[in-house]
Structure 1
Amino acid sequence: MSKLYQRLAFLILLVAIISGTVIYFTVDIHTLSSLNFFKPWALLLVLICLAVGMFFDGSRLMHLVRISGESINFMQAVQVVFGNYFLALLTPGAAGGAFAQVMFLRHAGVPIGKATVLVIVRTLLSIFFLVLCMPVVFMAESDHLPWVSPEMLLSISAGMFILAGVTLWLIRTNLLIVFLRPLLKNASHSIRRKVFALYKDVRGGVILLSSAPLSMIRVFGESALSLLALYSMVPVLFLGLGVPVDLGHVMGRMIFLNFLLYFAPTPGGSGIAEGTFVLLFASDLPSGTVGILAVAWRAFAEYLPFIVGMYFTIRTFGQDFLAHHIK
């Protein structure tokens, strides 16, 4: 069996085990009666949220490519987006997602150097939006963090912004290399090579971010709309169950959850995503439904795009190519 099919089989087994476990430990005698109130129109609205999120994700990529001096059409951008979901779920830490994006951009005619920078910028924009939102989320959740005062939250938030700003300035001016060299002095040659290659790509991304400020503001706005549309699937599922929705509360926790998932070591954050969802929303939902909604959210937000991405990837590159490149 090729590595590709081994990874697919492992992923399917992992998802089945995690989903089954989450549902098994969260259902109770009230589950079926609660689900009887679910409104089918919510599923259609969830699909609309997914479509809107993917539209703005593809649109921002098109505009990013244009800023770099290249050009792709919307269909090519959509293939990049879905291809990212496919290989990200097949690899620990979503490492394959970046490779998939570079592959599709290269196939669309974007030079590999620019493609690598564009992928980094796309990720940086998403993380930057979440970082900007985190202070608001923490302040809104201050009642649930009694051991942290509002003043401390403001200090932490200010520190995050200052650190981010200083880091970006150091990268853009290339001064960060002064600190990297002594830190990596005793590291092996391969580690130094990988770190400096990553630094070079990140610096290229930062320079691209600052090369067209007005256009980048538009791209950042599309990033925000894309993420908010995707996160909106959860409050829609809440409404489907007839649960009153505090939109700020639910969206804030989804922002926090998705920020954590950027650092999850498992493929696509599997297990961590469902478990954290249960912890965050168990008290907001009818008894016995939080596990089912966690699995439903993952099915729409990750597994459906994964299937579409698998179709685009295999149709574009073929099974032999993937089998050769997936290690």
Structure 2
Amino acid sequence: MVDSGEIEYSRRASRQRLIVFSLLFVVLTAAGLYAVYEQFAGRSMTFDTRLVAPETLIALFGLLLVYFVSDGLRLHFTLRALGHHLAYRAIFRLVFINLFFSNITPMATGGGFAQIWYLHNHGVPVGRATAATTIRTVLAILFIFSLTPFFLLTLKPLEGNMIAGGVETALAFFIVLYLGFFIVLLLRAHWLIGPLSALLRGARRVHIISETRHRRWQFKARREMLRFSQSFSDYIRGRLLFIGLSILFTAVFLLSLFSFPALLMYSLDYNVDYLVSLGLLVVTTFIMYFSPTPGAAGISEGVFGSFFQSVLSGNHLLLVIVSWRFLTIYLGMIIGLIVLQKELVMNHRRVR
């Protein structure tokens, strides 16, 4: 039987970690914005009412709708290819929960765990949930990693840029490392059973977990790892319609994500080269994947400012960065926090 004091302690520790990560996110974001203000924006920022004009708000709302809906549908059809069907309402709640967790935890680790926890609570086995979220991530990574070398070599705003130069140097190494990890994870997941078992044995030796919990977790870890390995094969053998739609909506999701800066600049009457704007954000997103800070806070603002300083005037650079991050990150995080609280309340009632 689980000790109630242990459960309460775990809950308090989780809340404290979330508070710490949230504060870290805010501090790093402020530091990143200040760095842009100092280094790239000429210490200037002007609010422009054209960003709140009715036609601009309608266009931004439409793009936001595509962004959130396609994010939900890419996971929905990945699950369908694996033979699982969740209600659309549950899928779209998960979109916002994921946005919240993935942006307040380093390297987006919390987003993956939160999705698996949520899907498991809605009847999807842990191994299948892990496979679904991993496959969804891999599809996005394949798009981004394939496009980044092309834009690095062709975009004029990146010529002579120190950050872009560093990316070119590290690009091949990170692509091989990242894709190699996911290939092992997807095609040879059983290779990870040994290291995972060793990790659990180590936790038992230092008394982090009890003997009973060690045996239970060993069994579950092996079972879910084998389920995960089988799940990728099931995805490949799934209905072509669902596989195709999961890939299509991944592309739509990324295209909508990369289109926000172009729309914001168009609203400010800039002569926007859409391909340049899209390419700069693809490279920015690539760098964000390797950021150790929660939600790439601080780093994303700095990289965006460095890349777009030749495209935007100083007084608009910070304004566009804040607007871009608000639309793609902050807004979803706020909604996600609200949805998470409701989900935890409903989960608590089900347990009782």
TM-score, scaled relative to structure 1: 0.78
Q: What is aligned with 1:130?
A: 144
Q: Kindly tell me: are residues 106 and 251 of structure 1, through their superposed partners in 2, closer, same or farther at Cα, counting changes over 3 Å? A: same
Structure 2: 5+ residue stretches without partners: 1-11, 162-167, 204-216
| Aligned length, in residue pairs | 307
> SS at 2:247's partner residue?
helix
Given the superposition, is the C-alpha separation of residues 138 and 118 from structure 1 closer, same or farther in structure 2, using an over 3 Å criterion? Answer: same
Q: Which residue of 2 aligns with 1:93?
A: 107
Q: In the TM superposition, what are the counterparts of 1:1-327 in structure 2 within 5 Å?
A: 2-3=15-16, 6-7=19-20, 10-11=23-24, 13-14=26-27, 17-18=30-31, 21-22=34-35, 24-25=37-38, 27-28=41-42, 31-32=45-46, 35=48, 38=51, 40=53, 41-141=55-155, 144-145=158-159, 168=183, 174=188, 177=191, 190=202, 203-204=229-230, 206-212=232-238, 214=240, 215-318=242-345
**Separation in structure 1 between the aligned mates of residue 78 and residue 228 of structure 2, nearest angstrom:** 15
When residues 69 and 190 of structure 1 are mapped into structure 2, their CA distance, relative to the original with a 3 A threshold, is farther
1:284 and 1:202 map into 2 onto residues whose CA distance is 45
SS in 2 for 1:288: helix
Structure 1 pair 300–315 and aligned structure 2 pair: CA distance change class (3 A): same
In the alignment, structure 1 segments of 5+ residues that lack a partner are 148-152, 322-327
The alpha carbon displacement at 1:44 in A equals 3.2
In the alignment, the residues of structure 2 paired with residue 315 and residue 46 of structure 1 have an alpha-carbon distance, to the nearest angstrom, of 27
Change (3 A) 1:20 1:249: closer
**1:164–1:116: structure 2 CA closer, same or farther, 3 Å change rule?**
closer
Q: CA distance change for structure 1 residues 243 and 266 in 2, over 3 Å: closer, same or farther? A: same
Q: TM-score scaled by structure 2?
A: 0.73
Distance in structure 2 (CA, Å) of the matches to 1:291 and 1:225? 27
- The structure-2 alpha-carbon separation of the partners of 1:59 and 1:166, relative to structure 1 and needing over 3 Å to count, comes to closer
Q: CA deviation at 1:282?
A: 0.7
Aligned amino acid, residue 219 of structure 1: S
Distance 1:306 1:75 in 2: 18
> Closer, same or farther in 2 for the Cα pair 1:164/1:264, shift >3 Å?
closer
- AA of the residue aligned to 1:278: G
Q: Relative to 1, partners in 2 of residues 1:249 and 1:100: Cα closer, same or farther, differing over 3 Å? A: same
RMSD: 4.0
Distance 2:36 2:139 in 1: 34
| Deviation of 1:172 (Å) | 6.2
The answer to whether the Cα contact below 8 Å between 2:25 and 2:294 also exists between their aligned partners in 1 is no
Identity of aligned residues (%): 23
CA drift of 1:47 comes to 2.6
